[in-house]
Structure 1
Amino acid sequence: METTKVNAAFLCNFEVMQILQQLKDKTQKKHKREGSLATVTYETVHYLQDTECKNQSAESIQNFLKAMKCFKLTKSEKLMMVNTPPRTELEIQLIVQESEERLSEEDVRKIIDVVNEFFPVST
């Protein structure tokens, strides 16, 4: 596999899981499995099913990103928030570069509220 355009698009864990599940289904239907590709696909899907993305949907991600437009965050910061939704102020500080200068305390609280609204904690 060769990368033709580096950083052409970023994919969140939910999108990666969907693509790999489709790939896995296609290879199972053909009964032609390439050993290492099948292993990597299986292991990655297995890992992703234990992360936050298992409870996400395309709609919840889109709504989250719309709600986050009022905060001046980079694409990669928003991607990290989708992949690992921050539940505390510390987690936001770890995701957002120079968060103390770029976000007020109220902004941080709003971000946590938005995260909890669109990506509720599953039990």
Structure 2
Amino acid sequence: FCRREANAAMLSNYEYTLKYLSKTPCAHQNPDTVKEFLTAMLPHKLTKAEKLQLLNHRPQTAVEIQLMVEESEERLTEEQIDELIQKVTDVLPGDPQKEANASADPEMETDQ
């Protein structure tokens, strides 16, 4: 009986996680995109955790990069941060609906 409850709890956590992830930028990624992203990140000497943060959140500003990369002020120049942002936006797909809305009304800010 306890095993069944444990399995039900795991399934509930799994479903909750999938539901959460479906609302994040990583919902639009596939294995090829992830591989391309990780290859593009090789020159930046980021930790696995930092790469995962970038992959999951798809940062688009320097502030977001600073929040995800530990000691970014000491480790990265402004140019490197700009390069990271460019690679993230070039390689990782965004939410197609949000991007369509943003291009339809460029003055309207979208939720991140």
Q: What is the TM-score when the length of structure 1 is the normalising length?
A: 0.67
Q: Secondary structure at the match of 1:78?
A: helix
Q: Does 1:106 align with 2:92?
A: no
User: Which stretches in structure 2 are left out of the alignment for 5+ residues?
Assistant: 1-6, 98-112
Which digits, 9 at most, give the CA deviation of each residue in 1:32-78, with x for residues without a partner? xx532332222221111111121001111110110111111111111
Q: Where does residue 14 of structure 1 map in the other structure? A: none
Q: Where does residue 61 of structure 1 map in the other structure? A: 34
Question: Distance in 2 between the 1:67 and 1:50 partners?
Answer: 25
What percentage of residue pairs aligned between the two structures are identical? 40
Q: Where does residue 67 of structure 2 map in the other structure? A: 94
Shift of 1:108: 0.5
Q: Where does residue 49 of structure 1 map in the other structure? A: 22
Instruction: Number of aligned residue pairs: give it.
Output: 90
**For the Cα contact (< 8 Å) 2:60–2:85, is it kept in 1?**
yes
Question: Distance in 2 between the 1:97 and 1:79 partners?
Answer: 13
CA RMSD across the alignment: 1.3
Q: Secondary structure at the match of 1:39?
A: helix
Q: What is the TM-score when the length of structure 2 is the normalising length?
A: 0.73
Q: Where does residue 39 of structure 1 map in the other structure? A: 12
Q: Secondary structure at the match of 2:89?
A: helix
Higher helix proportion: 2
User: Which stretches in structure 1 are left out of the alignment for 5+ residues?
Assistant: 1-33
Change (3 A) 1:106 1:42: same
